[in-house]
Amino acid sequence: MASGYNVGVVGATGLVGQEFLRILEGGGHPDLPVATLRLFASERSAGQRVTFRGQTYTVEVARPEPSLFRGLDFVLTALDDHLARVYAPAVAAAGALDVDKSNAWRMDAQVPLVVPEVNPDDARRHQGIIAGPNCSTTQMAVALWPLHRQNPIKRIIVDSYQAVSGTGKAAVEELRAQTADLLAGGTARAREYPHQIAQNVIPEIGGLKDGDLYSEELKLIEETRKIFHVPDLAISATCVRVPVLTGHSEAVHVEFERPMPPEEARAILAAAPGVALVDEPARSRYPMPLDAAGRDPVYVGRVRRDPSHPRGLALWIVADNLRKGAALNAIQVFELIARNGWQAGARREAA
């Protein structure tokens, strides 16, 4: 489409919506030229003005009505789960393609769950809605998929260290406020988390589910299986919130079908799309959230043999959770759809 696409963002004033606009503002995505832009948010945020490429836009009040989204080609919804369940069908019923960043649609059998570097063909069968994975799932999938293609993975053990921006603006401000209070000799007050997050780590993300797993851990397990098309893939996850503003980190132990030397894994990762290999431990060079923040790649380092298993490797994976974990992945999905002419599809009716 030479003149560009009509793009909407629902949740435009949130962290993911802002990152989405920031990435498009920076250019570098020729497959998603923007002809018009419409921004939506709650009544509390409606009326705010946002500058994009030198033009000022007024944020509109979001309503889950197909008529509001008619004329748009692509819409990003970055909303709570219960809102996403009514907004995504309304967007699809309007004839637009929605990439939804909530957990509402990820495990729906009729909705593709897409990471373009991993399972791009799944996007072809959309019905107006494509789910974006959880941010911690996305970075692990990008890093492990090229290894899995060469040597099937039989088991994954992952421990995540997740930044507070994954919770939202209020959690970011809480970490900042708690840090300031503690430095001033005061007391840190916890609102967004069950405990103080400053100078602490909390092994709880999401609600507690069956098997004493928190929901974030279930997401890592179930979403990875769906994206990889391996429904019985053995995965164990422990997810931890850490006092970092931006950037999720993961310690991953992988069991393969056959032994894989670290040198082979490094060569595969160095050539993999979306991956940046930073692996010189003797020089203290390895991925860190401070370096990944504001950047596109999924960074991988500390690639080494797992001394506990003859077919095992250990890796350290880091990425900007707002960028590749959310906003950039959505942009790449839109580009994939546009590049292949996959916009058309059976549409869901609005609820």
Q: Which of 126, 135, 148, 239 is catalytic?
A: 135
- For 340, other C-beta atoms within 10 Å of its C-beta total 13
**CA nearest neighbour of 32 among 349, 343, 274:** 343
Residues recorded for the chain: 351
CA 186 to CA 205: how far, in whole Å?
A: 26
**CA nearest neighbour of 315 among 330, 304, 328:** 304
DSSP 323: I
Three-state DSSP class for residue 8: strand
CA 183 to CA 186: how far, in whole Å?
A: 7
Virtual CA dihedral for 74, 77, 81, 86, nearest 10 degrees? -60
Side chain identity at 74, as an amino acid letter? F
248 included as an active-site residue = yes
| Residue 100 neighbours by CB under 8 Å, 6+ apart | 77, 79, 84, 87, 88, 129, 130, 131, 132
DSSP H or E run through 9: strand 5-10
CA 216 to CA 119: how far, in whole Å?
A: 22
135 included as an active-site residue = yes
Q: Which of 126, 148, 239, 248 is catalytic?
A: 248
Helices (H) and strands (E) in the chain, counts: 9, 14
In the sheet that holds 248-256, the strands lie side by side as 234-241, 153-162, 248-256, 312-319, 298-305, 275-277
- Catalogue the E-assigned strands of 112-257: 129-131, 153-162, 234-241, 248-256
> What tokens does 202 get?
């909390």
User: Among all residues, which ones are annotated catalytic?
Assistant: 135, 248
